Amino acid sequence: MRTLRVATYNIHKGLSVTPLLNRRLTIHELREKLRLLGADIVFLQEVRGRHDHHARRYEDWPAAPQYEFLADSVWSDFAYGRNSVYDAGHHGNAVLSRFPILSWDNQDISMRRFERRGLLHCEIKIPRWNQRLHCVCVHLGLRGPERSRQLEKLRQRIERLVPPEAPLIVAGDFNDWRYRATHELAHPLNLYEVFELVKGRPARTFPAVLPVMSLDRIYVRGFQVPTAHVHHGGAWARISDHAALTATLVPL
């Protein structure tokens, strides 16, 4: 296997972005959209593992956790990092993979009690690759100083656990409208953002109906990037307030 297609998407917990009382369930439409992307590995943020209130309110709420429901029959392996826990359930990050996830770990990088964040780190075996693929799914905080500390924790984890020669993908919702991740994470680790390589600047991903802010990223090491696409507009905006990103990667 010489090429790899990856996607990242903040799925807004499987609910529309309309006002609270009028929110509709989007998880079924989301599953179809994800499958059309043709990604081998999917990085997801704001994924519900369980929500008892919504399960009672919505007739077609999936019986399985959202990550299992989305992966069903397409992505044979998945990992879920539970970050926010509350009385009705929990949500966090997830990685869906067509290939075996050999190991995974979810590191707590929360800086505040009511804004829980984590780094979901997976090691994936790709057929005929000599090295394991390291994938880190992230969802960083809303405040600049907190994001800087979280980026530092992410950098330290990669330096400690990812061999320099191993292929690496770091993707997710960075909430980084000031582009600090480039200097605080990418440059020290020799990572490259896929849209910067292909288009000259990170993709605009928020709000999904007409993106103006670059919050979501895909950083890579050890790959060429022939193509990268942002998926936004009316159909996508009905699912989440973020656009989805995809990229085709070719190992060096």
Per-residue pLDDT of 127-156, as tens digits, reads 999 999 999 999 999 998 999 999 999 999
- CA pair distance 73, 171, nearest whole angstrom: 23
Residue-wise pLDDT for 79-128, tens only, equals 999 998 888 888 899 999 999 999 999 999 998 877 889 999 999 999 99
Residue-wise pLDDT for 206-237, tens only, equals 999 999 999 999 999 999 999 999 999 888 99
Question: pLDDT category, 20, cuts 50, 70, 90?
Answer: low
Segments forming the whole domain that contains residue 64 = 4-251
Region of poorest pLDDT, from 14-18, 198-202, 208-212: 14-18
In the block, residue with structure tokens 């942002």: 230
- CA pair distance 28, 56, nearest whole angstrom: 17
- CA pair distance 5, 133, nearest whole angstrom: 13
In the block, residue with structure tokens 């996607």: 7
Beta bridge partners of 195: none
User: Is the confidence at residue 1, as pLDDT, over 70?
Assistant: no
Q: Are 80 and 67 in contact (CB under 8 A)?
A: yes
**Mean per-residue pLDDT, 173-197:** 95
Name the domain count of the chain. Answer: 1
Question: pLDDT category, 21, cuts 50, 70, 90?
Answer: low
Question: pLDDT category, 41, cuts 50, 70, 90?
Answer: very high
Q: Which two tokens stand for residue 226?
A: 């022939």
Residue 147 CA, distance from chain mean position: 16
pTM: 0.95
* C-alpha dihedral, 9 to 195 to 77 to 155, nearest 10°: -100
At 181, which CATH number? 3.60.10.10
